[in-house]
Structure 1
Amino acid sequence: MAPVRVAAAQIEAGQDVAANLAACLRVIDAAAAAGAQLVVLPEFCNHLSWYASREQAHQRATRPGDDFLTAIAERARRHHMWIKVNVTHAYGNGRTGGTNLIFDEKGEIAGRCDKQTLMGAENDFLDPADHVGPVLDTPLGRLGMYACMEGVINEVTRGLTLRGAQVLLNSLNSFATDEADLHIPVRAAENKVWVVAANKVGPLLPAGELPAIAERLGVPPEWLHGAGESQIVAPDGTVVAKAPRTGEAIVVADIDPSRADDKRRPDGTDILAGRRPELYAPIAEPPVGRRRGPGAAELTVAVARGFGHVREAALEGHQLIVLPELSAGPQSLAAALGGTTGVAVTSVIENGAHVGIVVGAQGVVVRQPQLHATRGAGPAGHSPTGKRIVPVDLPWGRLAVIVGDDALYPETFRLAALADADVVAVPYRAQEPWELALGLPERAAENRLNVIVATPYGQPAAVFGLSTDFTLWTSWQGPFTGRISTPLRTDVPATTYRAGAVVAPAQAANRLVSRRTDLVDGRPWRLLGALIN
């Protein structure tokens, strides 16, 4: 199809609805002047998401035919462009939604949906969606809409992709700096779709109350401003346009939505066709909470490339040693671990199947068959035989093994989190840059898992540990950085044979990214039919 010019706009929005509307119209006009056929605006662009009561939120929300929505519709007609906004919206039945609306070039509302997963105080004032949003087949491509917190977890964007979306439109109201460098681009890469994301700038709380709130939370007031960096991301995770950190702005790019129809990796694996929905049923079941207590405060881990480095790592005191795929057999590993309390993880081929193994000095502790099919480099052509995640309890916590290309699938790590894993070992061979740059750190972030990735010599590897500084609702040990869920990253250079790190199994028990917002149990489990069918 012909290229489509899209824009992401960032504005400051306060409690003055008229001023907010004026800001929206300014950036819409600027996007039109730049030739955009579609523009995305931030979340809650009609009013701050801060209210005295649920009743006040409902009273100040938009309504069909009001001045705010009428003006947006008029601009869509005037410029003959599509406009996606997110507002608080009052429904006749008393509900108030965090509502995505998209206006077509005639100024008509072409689609709407409410936010499925609410963040923090939004739970006090708004009602979550009771149905999924549409995928709209338009002259600009197949469009799906989501908002902010829905992009901090994987299920909403995954569902839109599975229902055919080529371009995902994300409206944000976030001070988190890891939105721009992790949560936004990873949703493009892991689904091989375009993402157009618009964040706010300026205070996200009432200006008069901001200093007191910041003092109560123990963070500098400027960190409670919208983080900006609105952006447009290609299906390989490349950010093709990005706005500055502060200030009203638009960014524009020409995109080819049909690029999102190719879901293949370099080896030919189709990342959607390779899914196994029959295994994902627990993701769509009612949350039961974490049933295990926290693991150890600290765990020393190592990435070892080559069997010869296993004993050295164990004698140095590393309790978990992760090797690349197919590095050694269980007998050799057990011998290398003799006289130590460490365990090693790699994979083997058993009866034609690719199987992850955890080995201690006494032999194999647990086997984890691969869940998804593999083709290309590594253990090519082996059919999946695994039916579920098989965790193992060790003195320092619960370990899960994610084998080879199982690491491509966000669903696999979600299953590990639902099995109450604290640490995940990943013997792996990457094929695309986004996998280690975005995909695997996001698996740690969105599930609160410590993740140790071992790749072959010649490929970079990494350890992703959980920080104790995680949520605004607990005291931070270090200075506040604005990065809410990004893990602590220890890179292992491609030509390093052995490297160690320290991770925190106990932190996997803390999944509350904000008040009443659990990263795992807060998934929109009632609305995940697309993931399991």
Structure 2
Amino acid sequence: MIRMTTVRFAAAQFYSGTDVAENIALTVRWLRAAAEAGAQVVVTPENSNRVRDFTDRAGAWQHAETLDGAYVTGVRRACADLGIAAAVGVDLRGEHEPDVHICSVLIGSDGEILKVHRKHIFWDYEYTLFVPGTEPVEAVDTPFGRVGLLMCADGIVPEVPRLLALDGAQVLLNSLNSRGPDEHRLHVPQRALENRVWHVSANTVGGPADAYPWMGGSQIVDPDGETHAAAAEMGEEMVFADVELERADDKVAPGRGDLFAVRRPDLYGELTWDVADVPAAAMYGPAGEMPSHLVAVAPLQVSWFHNREWTVTRAIGQIAYAASRSIQLGVLPEMFCFERGEVARDPREAARVSAEVLQRLRDAARQYRLHVVANLVESDGDALYSTAWLIGPDGGDLLRYRRAHLDDADATWAVPGDDIAVAQTRIGRIGLMIGTEVWLPEMARLLTLEGAEIIAHPTDWDRAEAATTAAVQRTEENRVHLVSSTRLDNAAGLGSQVVESDEFVPGQPIALMRFPTAWTCRHGFEEQMRVELDLRGSNSKVQGHHLDPVATRQPDLYRAFTRPHTK
């Protein structure tokens, strides 16, 4: 049995005004409260040193701190006096005026600076005031575990938290300055879940009564995605939890296997290409003059029931019904025509059956002039694959994807595939992924870089968060439409889902900028949900006036994605 090292972490949420001396005193009060609660480490919000009431770079420089400035010095002194470590959000001057970085400064319990992280990804207006950090993304060893620093929009995209986790971070310390609900409802739990790390987030709260208030919701989430402590969305507050560090060293998720061992670094080279060299480069920024291009899609929510012939007949009935509703793309669930566990019991027989079913689906697609996606068992010599086919309206195969990342169930019988690709079709560019691959940020990112406008996803939800956070996150961070069709008997008890990449327009509610619309089916019904997706949405990569979460990547820092996995 592994003995757990337990450290108490705290997150303090508050609002800093314009008076730096008052902000120092405010921060110190929270440090003292954390120490009195027995915490060894406390995280404070982004720009705890001073509210951003300036509107240009000159103002940012004027009001920014230095590492030997009053705010940082005051906090360092308090950490040493109280014997507590802190990750504090501070806007720091760069080497040259008027450059200012948004920073997290990690201070040890002796008052020494352990690490400075310069925020890499900004939220919208911040691009007009600050300069992104360009240093390597690395975790740091401390007396309270191996930790990684990130800040707010760094967690809107997958790369920064993923790189920290790959570098061995056990705990992510995240200073936020968010006005939206997406941080504590989506990004914070998802980054903990997909990386199996602890995640401590501290957000600003409140603010001027006549302004759009900051959202609060500071929280501490464990590697299983469970929230151990959460602050309210209104009011200054501190929360704390006892963090068992070694839990983050175990990357095995029930049913999904080792989330890091299942990665395919040999396929991830494109993640390191220059942002100008990937097919998606033509899609950066707003959609511009692109005309509206509507594509009617539907999860064809049917899976094994009663017997195979009944199930396949119902699937063909779904295709016929979809055609009558002018649907152009229908997606069937993961291994839809097999009883649960049947494939693993006799995969060779499953491959034989799959070949027959696939031909019937091709015939139906041709008869009803529909694009159809199906996941079945493929035999190629001695090898067996979990394969998804994109069948065209002429009955031909437009794309064959052999699942590259195998979960525990598929790994007992299947061989992983070696290609990740996107098909150009008459209705748009379509990429494929299967089942629990939704948990891997690399998968949807690669399809996006290849220019996918729609990702079709036969699945079998393993837990509720696969739909409510992972699938939503994949659309949010890539600005790509996602059509997930799930089995009727899935473990999560949820229906199929279509997540729409909402095109940014001025005045759009902030929730839709960073928390896209999801259309859901009822669980357990042979339901067919028709959704019209506008491809303008997936060709508009901006989340606001300035943030493009695909174009703002820094691939020269991403070599760790392609390194072979080691225990």
Q: Is TM-score (shorter-chain normalized) higher than 0.5? A: yes
> Secondary structure at the residue paired with 1:512?
coil
Matches within 5 A, 1:175-214: 175-203=179-207
Counterpart residue number, 1:5 = 8
Counterpart residue number, 2:262 = 274
- Name the CA shift for 1:491/1:137 in 2 (closer, same or farther; >3 Å): same
> Secondary structure at the residue paired with 2:409?
coil
Matches within 5 A, 1:11-410: 11-94=14-97, 95-203=99-207, 222=211, 224-267=212-255, 269-288=257-276, 290-291=281-282, 296-306=293-303, 307=312, 308=314, 309-327=318-336, 329-350=357-378, 351=380, 352-378=384-410, 380-395=412-427, 397-410=428-441
| Cα distance in 2 for residues equivalent to 1:438 and 1:4 | 27
- Name the CA shift for 1:383/1:339 in 2 (closer, same or farther; >3 Å): closer
CA contact (8 A) 1:117 1:524 kept: no
CA contact (8 A) 2:11 2:240 kept: yes
| Cα distance in 2 for residues equivalent to 1:268 and 1:415 | 20
CA contact (8 A) 2:319 2:368 kept: no
- The one-character-per-residue Cα deviations of 1:355-391 (angstroms, maximum 9, x if unpaired) are 2101234223323323524243357432222322232
> Secondary structure at the residue paired with 1:519?
coil
Counterpart residue number, 2:560 = 530
Q: Which amino acid aligns with 2:81?
A: R
Q: What displacement does 1:300 show?
A: 3.5
- Name the CA shift for 1:268/1:441 in 2 (closer, same or farther; >3 Å): closer
Q: Which amino acid aligns with 2:368?
A: T
> Secondary structure at the residue paired with 1:100?
strand
CA contact (8 A) 1:176 1:484 kept: no
The aligned length equals 511
Give unpaired runs (5+ residues) of structure 1: 211-220
Give unpaired runs (5+ residues) of structure 2: 284-289, 304-311, 338-356
Counterpart residue number, 1:465 = 499
Counterpart residue number, 1:217 = none
- The one-character-per-residue Cα deviations of 1:314-334 (angstroms, maximum 9, x if unpaired) are 333322111112336331112
- Name the CA shift for 1:172/1:268 in 2 (closer, same or farther; >3 Å): closer
Counterpart residue number, 1:216 = none
- Name the CA shift for 1:91/1:489 in 2 (closer, same or farther; >3 Å): closer
Q: Which amino acid aligns with 1:311?
A: A
Counterpart residue number, 2:477 = 446
Q: What displacement does 1:40 show?
A: 0.4
- The one-character-per-residue Cα deviations of 1:106-163 (angstroms, maximum 9, x if unpaired) are 0110111211112222222222112124312222211000001110010000000000
Q: Which amino acid aligns with 1:466?
A: E
Q: Which amino acid aligns with 2:327?
A: H
| From 452, 456, 463, the counterpart of 1:425 | 456
CA contact (8 A) 1:148 1:171 kept: yes
| Cα distance in 1 for residues equivalent to 2:167 and 2:16 | 33
- The one-character-per-residue Cα deviations of 1:202-243 (angstroms, maximum 9, x if unpaired) are 23xxx5xx9xxxxxxxxxx65x22111011111111222111
Q: Which amino acid aligns with 1:455?
A: T
Q: What displacement does 1:290 show?
A: 4.0
Fraction of identical pairs, as percent: 29
| Cα distance in 1 for residues equivalent to 2:433 and 2:461 | 14
- Name the CA shift for 1:294/1:131 in 2 (closer, same or farther; >3 Å): farther
- Name the CA shift for 1:50/1:467 in 2 (closer, same or farther; >3 Å): farther
CA contact (8 A) 2:496 2:523 kept: no
Which shifted more, 277-286 or 289-298? 289-298
> Secondary structure at the residue paired with 2:90?
strand
Counterpart residue number, 1:519 = 549
Q: Which amino acid aligns with 1:300?
A: V
Q: Which amino acid aligns with 2:329?
A: L
| Cα distance in 2 for residues equivalent to 1:197 and 1:247 | 16
| Cα distance in 2 for residues equivalent to 1:125 and 1:377 | 49
- Asked if residue 412 in structure 1 is aligned to residue 443 in structure 2, the reply is yes
RMSD: 2.2
CA contact (8 A) 1:82 1:105 kept: yes
| Cα distance in 2 for residues equivalent to 1:294 and 1:158 | 36
Counterpart residue number, 2:513 = 484
| Cα distance in 2 for residues equivalent to 1:236 and 1:137 | 23
Q: What displacement does 1:296 show?
A: 1.8
CA contact (8 A) 1:337 1:343 kept: yes
Q: What displacement does 1:489 show?
A: 1.7
> Secondary structure at the residue paired with 1:363?
coil
Which shifted more, 307-316 or 416-425? 307-316
Q: Give the TM-score of the pair, scaled to structure 2.
A: 0.85
| Cα distance in 1 for residues equivalent to 2:101 and 2:184 | 25
Which shifted more, 50-59 or 29-38? 50-59
- The one-character-per-residue Cα deviations of 1:421-460 (angstroms, maximum 9, x if unpaired) are 1111111233344322211111011111111112222122
> Secondary structure at the residue paired with 1:32?
helix
- Name the CA shift for 1:164/1:481 in 2 (closer, same or farther; >3 Å): closer
- The one-character-per-residue Cα deviations of 1:48-98 (angstroms, maximum 9, x if unpaired) are 234243233223211122221111112211221110011111244444211
| Cα distance in 1 for residues equivalent to 2:291 and 2:34 | 50
